[in-house]
Amino acid sequence: MRIGAQNLAENEADKYKIIAVDDEEGIIDSLTVFLERSGYKLVGVSDPVKAIEIVKKEHFDLMLLDFIMTPLHGDQVVEQIRKFDKELYILLLTGHKDIAPPLETIKRLDIQGYCEKSDKFDQLLLLIESAVKSIDQMREIKRINNELSETNQKLEKAYMESIETLRYTVEAKDPYTKGHSDRVAQYSVLIGKKMGLSEEDQKTLLIGGLFHDIGKIGVPDTILRKPDRLTDEEYSEIKNHPSIGAHILAPATIFQDIIPIVKHHHEKYDGKGYPSQLKGEDIPLFARIAAIADTFDAMTSKRTYRDELSLETVIAEIERCKGTQFDPKIADVFLDILKNDYHEIEEIREKY
């Protein structure tokens, strides 16, 4: 016997949770005695339907599963289990050499081992030893992945906090920016939702909106705080902020997805924007979304040289700029929001 109780540490007995499923009580009893002598503890179940429910509620590392059973065969049991548990290690047993599931079925259901029943259980014990080693490896890989994930989350949090500090510095430099980035982020997410974008894409729009003006950290305060309209030379300085922002974020891997928003939210659909004069769908999708959110917030914000524009004026301006400044499809989505769901816009404006 390869694994004896005398060779297995006391605390090893509870290390692996094993469930055996066989509609013959005698087989369950024999497996229980054999495995306990080998240092393992076993939960035996003679009803395959009940076994599925038990595995749903309780964690097991290894399942020993009979193939021919009533009312469900082993492959049918695995079919159900794989719907909610992809990690359970399964060894399929059969008492009939000529009755076995096709190899294709074993692969499709991710059944890790197959064994013919025997009175001596020697082959089964070898497979259990192999299973235990695999389970240990899976645990170690999961542990390492969890540690890496925690480390990455800490690094991401630290970097996010650093960029947030820069964002707040920009807001201190430019009173107009305060609340503007938050609203642009929320408007962008609202548009993304209406377009049916995924939650992951909506998250990118949110973060991109928050940091879209981060490059203004490199624009002189005299220009940012100027109460009057900017001269052409001053406007040229302002136009550098998308490229500056992209440069600031470039070293961080976690911000690669939002850099297109930061760099290209001032591009125009007709190719007359900046900094790259991109045209049409060459402009990244998220940048096209942020562009209309950014412009809307600018039009509906009070400036020292003008009051905020009325909703009717804003709608007319967006209609006029479809196909020139804005992507016409995205503009239509936003116009629908303004005309039919304006309460969602008001909720954002009240919050920020």
Catalytic residues: 216
Between CA 280 and CA 285 the distance in angstroms is 10
> By CB neighbour count within 10 A (0-12 exposed, 13-18 middle, 19+ buried), where does 278 fall?
buried
- Amino acid type, 186: Q
Count of C-beta atoms within a 10 Å radius of residue 42:
19
**Is the separation of the CB atoms in 31 and 64 below 8 Å?**
yes
Between CA 3 and CA 185 the distance in angstroms is 61
Question: Helix or strand or coil: residue 93?
Answer: strand
For residue 21, give the H/E element and its range: strand 18-21
CA atoms lying within 13 Å on the CB side of residue 34? 20
For residue 179, give the H/E element and its range: none
Between CA 205 and CA 219 the distance in angstroms is 24
